[in-house]
Structure 1
Amino acid sequence: MLVPGDRVAVDGFLATVRFVGEIPNWPNETAIGVEWDVPERGKNDGSLNGTRYFSTRHGAKSGSFVKLSKLQPTRSFMDAMAYQYASDESLASESVSLVDHFDLTIGTKKVESYGFEKLSRLQADFRNLETATLERLNVAVSSPIDSSLHNLQVLNLGFNLLDWHNLMQIVLQLPNLHTLKANGNRWTRYERCEPCLSVRTLHLSACDLGSCEYTSQLLSCFPRLQHLHVASNGLNRIQVCGLESLDLSDNSFSLLSDAPPAKRLNLSYNDLHIPPLTDVSLQMVEELDLCNAAVSEWSEIDNLAQLPNLTSLRILNTPLLNSIDYDSAISQLFARIPSLVKLDGTVYTAEHRDNFELYFISKVRSKEWSCPSPRWAALCAKHGLSPEKSAPAERFPTSTRVDVVYNDLRFSATLFSSATVGKLRGKISRKFGLSVLDFQLYTQLGQDTEHLANDQQPVAALALANPVQVKLQPWERGLRQQPYPRKSGVAD
C-alpha cells in the first residue's frame, strides 16, 4: 500500500506521494495526491474545493491528484536487468517477476520456471557486463542479485523510484561497482545501512538534495568517494572533503568560500562571488570552473591568487569577462593569478604568460588598469623592471587591432603579436555564436581580397595595415562566389 513519501510514475513523469485517500470528485476510488518532480506539470497546491489534503514544497501549483489506476507498474532491479539485457526476448518479456527465482541458486525451481538453457544464457549475458544502464525503467525495489553480476563496475539507475534503503541494498550486492549514477531520484526517508566501500564516483544530480534533510547521511554511506556530481540540487552548503573532483554546478552557492575543497571544483551556473579566501583547505584546488557565475570585479580575481595550486580556470560568460575584450581579459587573468596555465580549455606557454604580463604592466603604467601592490612588485621583479608605475615602457609586446565585420554586426578586438589566425577565428566564434567550421576569413588589400586560410599563421606576420577589415562568409557561400581571383587564360 502506498504511503506519503513513496515515489510513483505517471505517463513517464516522476512524483512523490503526499496523500493517499478519497476525495469527493472520485467516490469509491483511491486518490493519490502527488508533487511532481517537474513542478510545471502540477495543477494545485494540495487543496481541492477549499479543503487541504496535502502541502507542496516546490510551488503553489506543483501538485495534482491522480487515480491509483493511473500509476505505472514498477520493476525490481533484476526484472529491469532481464528486460534490458536478456538476449532471449521471451525471457526478457516474462510477466512473472524474476525476484523469487533469483532468491535461489540454479536449481529445480529455476529450471522448472525458465529452463536451464535460458537461465544459463541470461547468466552468461550478465557475466560479461561491466556497465549497465537502467535509466527510467521504474525500478522501485531491490532484489537478491545473482553472482553473475559481480563484474558490474558502472551502474546507471537514474530517474527511477528507489528509496535509499533499496538503492543501497542493490549497491552492496555488487562488490566491484566503482561508479553509481542515481541522478533524478528523490529520497524522503533514510535508514541506517552498511557503508559501501567500493564506489569511488557518485552522481546525484537533480535529486533535490537542497530540500532533503538527510543529505549528509546519504553521502556518508560512501566513505571512499573521490568524485561527486551533485549539480542542479538547490544546494548552498554541503559537507564533503578530500575529493578529487566535485561538481556543484547549477546550485545556490553565493560565495566561493562556502564550497568544500576538491582538486577539481565546478561551480558554474551559481550566483557566486569570490571573497578573500582564509580557509586553507581551498588551497588544494587545482582546477576551477566559474562559467556563468556572478564574478564582476577584478578584486575577486586577485582573491583567486590566494589559491597557490590553481592551474586551470574556466570563467566565460561572467559579468567581468562580458565587460571587456577577451584578449585584454586573458592578460589580466594571467598577470593576476601567477599559477595559471590553462584558461577556458586552452593551455598557454611560458612565453604567452610573459607577453600577457608585460602587456598588463604597460596598461598599469598608462593608468588604464590597476594592480594590487604585492602582485605589482612581484611582476616587476620577475621581468627586471622598475616598480615605479610612472616609469617609461620597456620591451612591451605590441598589439594589433582587428575590426571584424559580419553582415551588419561589427566589433573590434586587440590581438597580441603572437596571436594566430586561429586565435582570431576563435574570438569571432565566441562573439557571434558561430561554429569555427561555419565561416571563412577574408581581408581587403587594396583591390585584392586575401583569404586567411592558415590558422597557424601569426596575425602580425600578415603585415597588414592597422586596423584590419575582416569579413566573414559561410563556407558554402564563399565557395559559390569563388573567393580566389582567377588567372587570365585559364579555362573553366
Structure 2
Amino acid sequence: MLVPGDRVAVDGFLATVRFVGEIPNWPNETAIGIEWDVPERGKNDGSINGTRYFSTLHGTKSASFVKLSKLQPRRSVMDAMVYRYASDESLANESASLIDHFDLTIGTKKVESYGFEKLSRLQADFRNLETVTLERLNVAVSSPIDSSLHNLQVLDLGFNLLDWPNLMQIVLQLPNLHTLKANGNRWTRFQGCEPCLSVHTLHLSACDLGNCEYTPKLLSCFPRLQHLHVASNNLSHIEVCRLELLDLSDNSFALLTDAPRAKRLNLSYNDLHIPSLTDSSLQIIEELDLCNTAVSEWSEIDNLAQLRSLTSLRILNTPLLDSIDYDSAISQIFARIPSLVKLDGTVYTTKHRDNFELYFISKVRSKEWKCPQPLWMSLCAKHGLLTEESTPARHLPTPTRVEVVFNDSRFSATLFSSATVGKLRGKISRKLGLSVLEFQLYAQLGHDTEHLANDQQTVAALGLASPVQVKLQPWESGLRQQPYWIKSGVAH
C-alpha cells in the first residue's frame, strides 16, 4: 500500500505521494494526493472546499488528487533490465516478475519458469554490458542483482520512482560501477547504509535537493566522489569536499564564494556576481563557467585575476559582454587575467595574448578604457613601455577595422593581425544569423578575386592593411541571399 513519501507516475509524469485516504468527492474509494514534479500540472494546494489534506512545497497549484487506478505500474530494477535489454522478445514480455530472485539456483521458480537456456542467454547478454540506461521505466524497487551485471560501470536510473534506500541497495551490488546517473528523482527518505567506494561520478540534477533535508547525508554515501553534477536543484548552498568537477548550473548561488571548491566549476545560469576572492582555497579553480550569470562590471573580472590557477573561462551571455564588442571584451579579459589560456572554448596563444594586452594598453592610454593601477604597472613593465602618457604610439599595435555591408545595413569590428579567416567567418555568422556553412568568402585584390577557403589563414596575410573588399557568396546548396561585401582598412 502506498504511503506519503512514495513516488508514483501518472500519464508519464512523476509525482510524490502526500496523502492516502478518502475524500468527499470519491466516497468508498482510495484517493491519492500527489505533488507533481512539474508544478504546472497541479490543480490545487492539497485542500478541497476549505479542508486541507496535505501541504505542498512548490506553490498553491502544484497538487492533485488521483484515483489509485490512474497510477502506472512500478518495476523492479531487474524487471526493467529484462524489459530494456533482453534479446529474446518472449522473455522480455514474460509476465512473471523477476523481483523474487534472479539467479540459477536449481529448484527456484525462475529456473522452472524460464529454463536454463533462456536464463543462460539472458545472462550472456548482460555480461557484455558496461553501460545500462533504465531512464523513465518506473523503477521503484530494488532486487537482488544477478552476478552477470558485475561488469557494469555506468548506470542511468534517471527519472524513476526509487527512494534513496532502494537506490543504494542497487548500487552496492555493482562492484565495478563508477558512474551513477539518478537525475530527476526525488529523495523523500534516508536510512544509514555502508558507503559506496566505487562510484566517483554522480549525477543528481533536477532532484529538488534545495528542498531535501537529507542532501548532506546523500552525498556522504559516496566518499570517493570526483565529479558531481547537481544542476537545476534550487541550491544556494551545498557542502562537499574538493572535487575535480562540480556542476552547479541553474541553481540559486549569489556569489562565487558561496560555491564549494573544484578544479572545474560550472556556475552558469546562476544570478551571481564575483566578489573579492581572498580565500586561498579558491586557488584550486582551473576552469570556470560563468555563462548566463549576472556579471556586469570589469572589477569582477579583476577579482578573477586572483585565481592564479585559472586557465579556462566561459562568460558568454552576461550583462558585461552584452555591453561591448566581443573582440574588445577578449582584449580586456586577457589583459586582466594573466593566467588565462582558453576563453569561451577557444585556445589563444602567447602571441594572441601579447596583441590583446598591447591593444588594451592603447585603449587605456587613450582614456577609452580604465585599468587598475597595479595591472597598468604590470602590463607596461611586461612590454617594456613607459607608464606615462608620453609613450610613443609606435610601440602599440595597429588593429584592422573591418566593415561589413549588407544591403542598407552595416556593422564593423576590430581584428588583430593574428586573427584568422575562420575568426572573420565566425564573426559574420554570429552577426548575420547565418551558418558558417551557408556562405563563401571572396577577397577582391586589385583585378583578381581570391577565394578565402583556408580558415587557418591569418588576416594579416590577406593584405588588409590596404583597403580591400571581401564578398560573401552563398553556396549553391545554401540559403539564397544577396551577396555581402566587407570593406577593410586600418583603424585610426
When normalised by structure 1's length, the TM-score is 0.93
Partner of 1:4: 4
Query: Aligned partner of 2:231: which letter?
Result: A
Partner of 2:199: 199
Residues 421 and 452 in structure 2, CA contact (< 8 A), matched pair in contact too: yes
Residues 135 and 160 in structure 1, CA contact (< 8 A), matched pair in contact too: yes
Matched, 1:327 2:327: yes
Residues 248 and 266 in structure 1, CA contact (< 8 A), matched pair in contact too: yes
CA distance in 1, matches of 2:157, 2:247: 19
Change (3 A) 1:405 1:231: farther
Moved more, 473-482 or 176-185: 473-482
* CA apart distance, 1:463: 2.8
Query: Aligned partner of 2:348: which letter?
Result: Y
Q: Any idea what SS the aligned residue of 1:430 has?
A: helix
CA distance in 1, matches of 2:42, 2:409: 43
Task: List per-residue Cα deviations over 1:116-138 (Å, max 9, x = no partner).
Answer: 11111111111111110000000
Partner of 1:271: 271
CA distance in 1, matches of 2:4, 2:432: 50
Change (3 A) 1:154 1:363: same
Partner of 2:35: 35
Change (3 A) 1:250 1:482: closer
Partner of 1:128: 128
Partner of 2:176: 176
Partner of 1:367: 367
Partner of 2:163: 163
* CA apart distance, 1:23: 1.4
Task: List per-residue Cα deviations over 1:265-290 (Å, max 9, x = no partner).
Answer: 01111111100001111110000111
Query: Aligned partner of 1:70: which letter?
Result: K
Partner of 1:138: 138
Moved more, 466-475 or 93-102: 466-475
Partner of 1:151: 151
Partner of 2:490: none
Partner of 2:486: none
Runs of at least 5 residues in structure 1 that lack an aligned partner in the other structure: 484-492
Task: List per-residue Cα deviations over 1:365-408 (Å, max 9, x = no partner).
Answer: 11111111111111111111112245332422211111224466
Task: List per-residue Cα deviations over 1:35-78 (Å, max 9, x = no partner).
Answer: 11111111111122222222221122111111110000000011
Q: Any idea what SS the aligned residue of 1:26 has?
A: coil
Query: Aligned partner of 1:366: which letter?
Result: S
* CA apart distance, 1:418: 1.6
Partner of 1:218: 218
Residues 402 and 466 in structure 1, CA contact (< 8 A), matched pair in contact too: no
Q: Percent identity?
A: 85
Residues 404 and 469 in structure 1, CA contact (< 8 A), matched pair in contact too: no
Query: Aligned partner of 1:34: which letter?
Result: I
Query: Aligned partner of 2:117: which letter?
Result: E
Change (3 A) 1:269 1:467: farther
CA distance in 2, matches of 1:274, 1:372: 17
Residues 438 and 478 in structure 2, CA contact (< 8 A), matched pair in contact too: no
Residues 445 and 468 in structure 2, CA contact (< 8 A), matched pair in contact too: no
Superposed, 1:203-352 pairs within 5 Å as 203-352=203-352
Residues 359 and 397 in structure 1, CA contact (< 8 A), matched pair in contact too: yes
Residues 289 and 314 in structure 2, CA contact (< 8 A), matched pair in contact too: yes
Query: Aligned partner of 1:223: which letter?
Result: P
Superposed, 1:368-383 pairs within 5 Å as 368-383=368-383
* CA apart distance, 1:448: 7.8
Q: Any idea what SS the aligned residue of 2:169 has?
A: helix
CA distance in 2, matches of 1:462, 1:63: 65
Residues 334 and 353 in structure 1, CA contact (< 8 A), matched pair in contact too: yes
Change (3 A) 1:113 1:481: closer
Runs of at least 5 residues in structure 2 that lack an aligned partner in the other structure: 484-492
Task: List per-residue Cα deviations over 1:297-344 (Å, max 9, x = no partner).
Answer: 100000000000000011111111111111111111111000000111
Query: Aligned partner of 1:51: which letter?
Result: T
Q: Any idea what SS the aligned residue of 1:168 has?
A: helix
Partner of 2:55: 55
Corresponding pairs, count: 482
Change (3 A) 1:482 1:161: closer
CA distance in 2, matches of 1:31, 1:58: 21
Residues 364 and 389 in structure 1, CA contact (< 8 A), matched pair in contact too: no
Query: Aligned partner of 2:84: which letter?
Result: Q
CA distance in 1, matches of 2:480, 2:340: 44
